[in-house]
Amino acid sequence: TTHNELEKNRRAHLRNCLEKLKEIVPLGPESNRHTTLGLLTKAKAFIKNLEEKDKRHQTTKDQLLKEQKYLRDKLDQLHDDITLIKHSSIHKRRSISECSSGVSSNSSISEPETSENNEIFESSENGQCLH
């Protein structure tokens, strides 16, 4: 009758689901001898194991993301430092160049060496220009 057909279909569906579960859950060498209860118990343990691994992997991932952020921030800071050093170096070279051109033009006039000329020369050695 209809009830028997429904029950037969339900059991067939349950059997198919258990077969699929056997393919997923590692059962060991005697996989054909497992009872439904044994299969479900192994499936439960397998799921618990996967959840624990997932939790550990998530913790590791979080730590790695923090480390990555720290390293990216450090890299950005180093790039900023390099840019600053380059600009500082260019500015310093210009200052020295401007000072030395001022010194050479002053010295070509053949004026006697004064304390003012000495100050310009000394200051250019320090990276500063006083004129």
Give one DSSP letter per residue of the chain, joined into a string: -HHHHHHHHHHHHHHHHHHHHHHHS---TTGGG--HHHHHHHHHHHHHHHHHHHHHHHHHHHHHHHHHHHHHHHHHHHHHHHHHHHHHHHHHHHHHHHHHHHHHHHHHTTPPP-HHHHHHHHHHHTT----
Question: Can you give the pLDDT of all 131 residues of the chain as single tens digits?
Answer: 899 999 999 999 999 999 999 999 998 877 667 799 999 999 999 999 999 999 999 999 999 999 999 999 999 999 999 999 988 887 777 777 676 665 555 544 444 444 444 444 444 444 444 44
Which pLDDT does position 50 carry in this prediction? Answer: 98
Which pLDDT does position 27 carry in this prediction? Answer: 86
Kindly tell me the sign of the dihedral angle through the C-alpha atoms of 92, 96, 101, 106: positive
